[in-house]
Amino acid sequence: MRIDLHTHTLLSDGDLLPIELARRAVAKGHQGIAFTDHVSLSTIERVIREASRDCELAKEWGIEAILGVEITHVPVSKIDAVVAEARRLGAELIVIHGETTSEPVEKGTNRVAVSNPDVDILAHPGFITLDEAQAAKDNDIVLEITSRAAHSATNGHVARLAMEVGARMVVNTDTHVPEDLMTEQEAILRAMAAGLAKFEAEKAVRKTPLEIVRRIRGR
């Protein structure tokens, strides 16, 4: 069963309402989905409040609907403060928009993200360094292998460093339109394309997302 922990709705730059995206995920066989719309201090309160309502509705279909955020393009010096505010407002899952090569993310974002144990996932971290991958492992922050075309060019690099230090990985879609959602088999193939052996790919697609959800529910 598929769990996708990085998606966007029309509460930021996606195409669908959270409940509409949840329904598409149910139809595609998903066990869980996280709504992780882009936020900064300008939108964080509204996005969390509004997405929480559809999380409750989606549970009627038996899917784990997780209230998350993706903290995006925040000044490095303020990331920890925004993470704390997201938690205070009720975010269950915190994703940090990493230093992808396709956007001008401030240098140092990866370092701050992997140093904060309250962060769950570092998304599309681009040319993450070995030291940063080690910090992710030490702080139990999961590194993302992404299927989003704009960010996926460095998947192989991310996977190689994660395997070298033993950091956990997860395969996410960074969905913006419903066609972005992947089946479990498609996600496994995406991880293998990044250089993971089949058993490692299956772990990143099946085991690690489930562990993250259980940790969220245990908080």
Supply the mean pLDDT for the chain. 97
Query: Residue 197: what pLDDT?
Result: 98
- Distance from CA of residue 165 to its chain's centroid? 20
Query: Which residue segments constitute the domains of the chain, with CATH numbers given?
Result: 2-218 (3.20.20.140)
| Residue pair 131/105 in contact by the 8 Å Cβ criterion | no
Q: Hey, what's the torsion of the CAs at 8, 13, 15, 16, to 10 degrees?
A: 50
Does position 219 have pLDDT exceeding 80, yes or no?
no
Q: How many Å apart are CA 116 and CA 135, to the nearest integer?
A: 9
Summarize pLDDT for 141-163 with one digit per residue, the tens.
Answer: 999 999 999 999 999 999 999 99
**DSSP states of 118-172:** T--EEES-SS--HHHHHHHHHTT-EEEEE--TTTGGGHHHHHHHHHHHT--EEEE
Query: Residue 218: what pLDDT?
Result: 85
Summarize pLDDT for 167-216 with one digit per residue, the tens.
Answer: 999 999 999 999 999 999 999 999 999 999 999 999 999 999 999 999 99
Q: Which two tokens stand for residue 54?
A: 């559809």
Full-model pTM: 0.98
